[in-house]
Amino acid sequence: MPNRLTYKVAVITGASSGIGRAIALAYHREGAFVVCSDIREGSRNEHSGETDISTHEAILKDGGKAIFVKADTSKAEEVEALIKKAVEEFGRLDIMVNNAGIAIEAYNPQPIWEYSEDSWDRTLAVNAKGVYLGCKYASAQMMKQEPHGNGDRGWIVNLASMLGLVGTPKNTGYCASKHAVMGMTKVIAWDCAPYRIHCNAICPGYVGTAMTASVFADSEFRTRLEKMHPFRGLGEPEDIARTAVFLASEDCSWITGIGVPVDGGYTAM
Ligand code: NAD
């Protein structure tokens, strides 16, 4: 079912790596024009440790339309400029994927009494405030635009986590930030519904990316994690990208304000 996003303009934050890169490439394959944004342009291959061709270059090489815009999602002026640049370049904004995120806990897990204020501040700044800023500036642009043929003006997709639905030890800031993403997704869905702007979230289980490389390096822990996902061990970025395509397409015509667990059954435990 290709071409579900033909001529739609999509901004993806954190597009240089892992899940964001997979979403950008999937959107391109579905016909979208892609604005790849990140704090760094090159893409690190978590398996080889080498730097891959950057995401927007990979799309251009494949005959698609894409640009790279450097932006730190925790800074309001940079997110506002990112949306402005997307509209200058492609004329409108149809899809906003708030994917950029950090997980300090992946390499430094601490119980609450050891969890530093700095880790809390940095995590909430990117994972919660960054998503809020992306939703704010994207929705402000989308609501000004002419609707598509089916009446929809835009699609916002937020990357939460299964840890936005359940808890786990030694993950205070990450879990709190992802629960915040779930909360704001529901509120933004209400605020934006009169303008026919969808706002949904994806709640991935453990996926093999740069973010989880240090977690998976411990083979005993990795095996334990795999067993906690009843379906088939750990996920691939493309598992998440498939859901991100659906949530940005006209196939989700009457869906807004939800978080879709794409977690191999983890949260069904
Ligand atoms: P990743 O580390 O591979 O990629 C994250 C990207 O975000 C990187 O390219 C990084 O440069 C960028 N980034 C970090 N801070 C940024 C900032 N302030 N502004 C702009 N870009 C920034 O991670 P991933 O696994 O692909 O994670 C993507 C999203 O999915 C994150 O929100 C993460 O929390 C979420 N998630 C991941 C998993 C998993 O197991 N990998 C599970 C659940 C949720």
> How is 91-143 classified by DSSP, letter by letter?
S---EEEE-----GGGT----TTT--HHHHHHHHIIIIIHHHHHHHHHHHHHT
CB 173 near ligand 1, within 6 Å? no
Residue of 211, 228, 229, 267 best suited for mutating to test ligand 1, as the one with most atoms within 8 Å of CB: 211
pLDDT tens, residue by residue, 51-102: 789 999 999 999 999 999 999 999 999 999 999 999 999 999 999 999 999 9
Q: Which atom of ligand 1 is nearest to the CA of 43?
A: 9
**The complex's ipTM?**
0.99
20 Cβ below 6 A of ligand 1 = yes
CA nearest ligand 1 atom 36, residue: 161
Atom of ligand 1 nearest to the CA of 20: 26
204 CB less than 6 Å from ligand 1?
yes
Active-site annotation holds for 266: no
Please tell me the predicted confidence (pLDDT) of residue 43. 73
pLDDT in tens, 174-193: 999 999 999 999 999 999 99
Distance set, CA 43 to CA 16, 21, 36, 210, 244 (Å): 5, 8, 11, 10, 20
* φ, ψ at 16 (rounded to 5°): -80, -10
Active-site pick, 115, 132, 174, 266: 174
Token pair 């519904």: residue: 193
- For the Cβ of 215 lying below 6 angstroms from any atom of ligand 1, the answer is no
Ligand 1 site, residue 212, Cβ cutoff 6 A: yes
Rounded distance from Cα 134 to ligand 1 centre (Å): 15
pLDDT confidence of residue 4: 96
pTM above the 0.90 mark? yes
